[in-house]
Structure 1
Amino acid sequence: MAATLDGKLVVAISSRALFDFEEENREFEKGDDRAYMRLQLDRLEQPAPPGVAFSLVKKLLAFNDAEAQRVEVVILSRNDPVSGMRVFRSAQATELKLERGVFTKGREPYKYLRPLKANLFLSANPNDVRAALNEGFAAATVHTRSVRASPNYPNEVRIAFDGDAVLFSDEAERVYQAEGLSAFQQHESSKAALPLQAGPFKPVLEALHRLQSEGMRIRTALVTARSAPAHERAIRTLMDWNIEVDEAMFLGGLHKGEFLREFEPDFFFDDQTGHIEHAAQHVPAGHVASGVANDQR
């Protein structure tokens, strides 16, 4: 029987998102490809330290067992194939069962997301992330200086999502940007019974909800700047999708970082760079370059 990724949660991830290759990357950014390759080859037997998304990946892979392979993690990297050897060696040293990888030696890797049937793409390259989002994939730029995930929940995947332009479309955010808070609140109150359109990360939440229904230990949170009365439309939208989140925080503009610190997610996704900068001081975080807040003029 041919190998297949059908029915799995597929996470495509760059080497810098999974491992801490920041020192090596500084060599790469100097433009000397050969020096970078030599450095990686010289360090072949030296496992790279865990990166921002390491905890998330390790926990997701733990959902696989002899009975079912529920999750596939694939390295999708601008690295060259030689440097890719160190990525796989580092994975082996840290007991991550990674079998597949695509290395493009500096070229855009996002076109391989489609044959991989990827549900999620995590990268440290914002251009690759934006390209993936434009192609309809859930993608986020990891904040490489984020603190690492808390060790307090070793057997539970914990993920937090912003709402507008992440789980939901940016319809309401456009009203807020154009007309202000009062108009936003009125708009959402008048449309409380009308579900929001899906944002780029709805399929990720759906996949996690499916795994939860199979008994996998996952805890999700909606962490949004919305407040009452705009909270109702968000809740009703999730109900319309038949998706539950375990926690919801309607913060009315308060900084999200301290609340995320208490939730202790393995990863947090938000479309606002300011929110990500603050959240990254407390939890692993990634920027979703989606919606009106990220429109390129």
Structure 2
Amino acid sequence: MPATLAGQLVVAISSRALFDFEEENQLFEAEDDRAYMQLQLARLDQPARPGVAFSLVNKLLAFNGPDQAQRVEVVVLSRNDPVSGMRVFRSARHYGLAVQRGVFTRGAPPWRYLTPLKANLFLSVNEADVRQALMAGVPAARVYPHSAHASDAHPLEVRIAFDGDAVLFSDEAERIYQSDGLDAFQAHETLRAGTPLPAGPFKPLLEALHRLQQAPAQGMQVRTALVTARSAPAHERAIRTLMNWSIDVDEAMFLGGLAKGEFLREFEPDFFFDDQTGHIESASAHVPSGHVAAGISNA
């Protein structure tokens, strides 16, 4: 029988999100892909430096113990060419990352391979690919390649922080806020406090993490946080929605419009997801961050 990824948390990631290829990418943008290929080939035996999403991948793969069933699969899904892909795999092996599968498209959009992979998450530096993935129903975020890297203070915890509206939840309430203002938003959410919000693009990832969280392996754990601009009384609908989904988050921050960056610095996530570029710019100075190009703010 053919191999299957069924039942696993599948993360598809571009080479620039996993490794720091920013110097090489400058050559690609300035000249052509053949010069880029030659540089990657010349550096074949030189491991690339870890990229923004390296910590997240490294910790997720730690859930695959030697005596346990495979629970997480990481697949490189890249616009790189196959020659450059050799350096990606060698760099992964250098760091002990058990990454075996990859698709390299030499500039063609790779997002279409997310469907056969049944990916739970796609991380890429390419905004067009991220938008296409989101349209295809795959949780996806554009990695800010110059984000701060994750803290090494929590080696046995995968820490992930999510915005609420247009990320975990739909943008229903955000549309009210943008069209009618804060008072209308608060009134709308108070009136509907007992009505669960529709799912947003990252609910499937939160569900997959919840399953991983229920059966930690070899001491590894998942810790999640909801970090939202909501404040009381609009907080209640968010909490009740998660309760309706039978999903717990470990921390919830209702910041009422305060900048998120310093709060995230204290939580120390391996990754943070938000739909608004202003929040990502605040966060990326402190933690690895990705922009979710979904909802009314990204129309």
TM-score, normalised by the number of residues in structure 1: 0.98
Secondary structure of 2:225's counterpart equals: strand
- Name the structure 1 match of 2:105: 104
Q: Is the 8 A contact 2:52 2:288 kept in 1?
A: yes
Q: CA deviation at 1:67?
A: 1.6
Give distance in 1, aligned partners of 2:163 and 2:129: 21
Matched, 1:227 2:231: yes
Matched, 1:243 2:244: no
Secondary structure of 1:148's counterpart equals: coil
Structure 2 stretches lacking a partner, 5+ long: none
| Structure 1 residues 153-172: aligned runs within 5 Å | 153-172=154-173
Deviations 1:73-92 (A, max 9, x none): 00000000000000000000
- Name the structure 2 match of 1:50: 50
Matched, 1:279 2:280: no
Structure 1 stretches lacking a partner, 5+ long: none
Secondary structure of 1:52's counterpart equals: coil
| Structure 1 residues 65-214: aligned runs within 5 Å | 65=65, 66-214=67-215
Which letter does structure 2 place at the counterpart of 1:198? A
Which letter does structure 2 place at the counterpart of 1:253? G
Moved over 4 A (4+): none
Secondary structure of 2:242's counterpart equals: helix
Which letter does structure 2 place at the counterpart of 1:58? N
Which letter does structure 2 place at the counterpart of 1:18? L
Matched, 1:256 2:260: yes
Matched, 1:5 2:5: yes
Count of matched residue pairs: 295
Q: CA deviation at 1:2?
A: 2.1
Give distance in 2, aligned partners of 1:200 and 1:8: 19
Secondary structure of 2:20's counterpart equals: coil
Q: CA deviation at 1:28?
A: 1.0
Matched, 1:218 2:218: no
Give distance in 2, aligned partners of 1:169 and 1:30: 39
Give distance in 1, aligned partners of 2:108 and 2:2: 29
- Name the structure 1 match of 2:62: 62
Give distance in 1, aligned partners of 2:102 and 2:15: 10
Which letter does structure 1 place at the counterpart of 2:189? E
Q: CA deviation at 1:132?
A: 0.5
Q: CA deviation at 1:215?
A: 2.3
Which letter does structure 1 place at the counterpart of 2:186? Q
- Name the structure 2 match of 1:290: 294
Matched, 1:37 2:37: yes
Q: CA deviation at 1:31?
A: 4.1
Give distance in 1, aligned partners of 2:262 and 2:3: 44
Secondary structure of 1:10's counterpart equals: strand
TM-score, normalised by the number of residues in structure 2: 0.98
- Name the structure 2 match of 1:18: 18
- Tell me the C-alpha RMSD between the 2 structures: 0.6
Give distance in 2, aligned partners of 1:142 and 1:150: 17
